[in-house]
Amino acid sequence: MIKKKKIVITGGNGRFAQSLKKHKNKYQLFYPTKQELNILKIKSIKNYLNKAKPNYLIHMAGMSRPMDSHDSQIVKSINLNIIGTANITQICSELNIKLIYFSTNYVYPGSEGNYKEGDPVKPFNNYAWSKLGGECSVQMYKNSLILRICMTEFPFVHQAALSDVYNSFLFHHEVASILFKILNKKGILNVGGKKQTIYDFAKESNPNVKKIYLKKIKNVKMPKDSSINIGKLRKLIN
């Protein structure tokens, strides 16, 4: 009997992980709790990974929404998204575990769209800066894959969506189906869908969603076009 390869997944209680748990695959998946694997404690990481002996580690743990919390809780954001990721990278490099890091398409400037992996980065907000900070340590470890992802829950959960802001969203279950096909790739990879307004994307799963405009909303800042070029991804999975 062939042994299944093992994958440890940090952030196992998050929204995407819940979708991942429903997806059939050929791997043995481990979802350690924060108590079992604390990304802020090197010893905790090392002890867990020495016992689990995974072939891969998918790093999703950290601080995400709401995005403005990265302004009001800068220390927490730095600790979880930058230092925590550096800790994970350090131990993966010591134990030669393939590392897959979940970053975001918001590391790109968000002004012109259709961003390729090699394009200059200029994060729009502190959330994106914290994810780019995590990328810096992962980049130093060559047995790694950085995913600049654009995804959200299914169905679209909000009652209104912006019709003058462009992105490249996929739903969580769509990303889950892609993830297991690219585990052995290295470098940086954009993961998302076609360029469209958030409203057009939202109405496909929520026909009752209302149309709103960023230019009419006071005190809300968002990049106008964070769409990504997924040509590299298409070549890998087709």
Look up residue 217 and give its amino acid: I
| 36: exposed, middle or buried (Cβ count in 10 Å: 0-12, 13-18, 19+) | middle
Q: Whole-angstrom Cα distance, residue 16 to residue 57?
A: 15
Peptide bond into 120 cis (omega under 30): no
User: For tokens 């992962």, what's the residue?
Assistant: 138
pLDDT for 1 equals 64
Q: What is the value of pTM for the model shown? A: 0.96
Phi, psi of 37 (to 5 degrees): -140, 100
Q: Where are the domains of the chain?
A: 6-237
pLDDT tens for each residue of the chain, 238 residues long: 678 999 999 998 888 998 999 888 999 999 999 999 999 999 999 999 999 999 999 999 999 988 899 999 999 999 999 999 999 999 999 999 999 999 999 999 999 999 999 999 999 999 999 999 999 999 999 999 999 999 999 999 999 999 999 999 999 999 999 999 999 999 999 999 999 999 999 999 999 999 999 999 988 889 999 999 999 999 999 8
CATH node for 6-237: 3.40.50.720
Note the residue count of the chain. Answer: 238
Crossing angle between the packed helical segments 84-95 and 126-139, to the nearest 10 degrees: 20
Nearest to 167 by CA among 121, 218, 104: 104
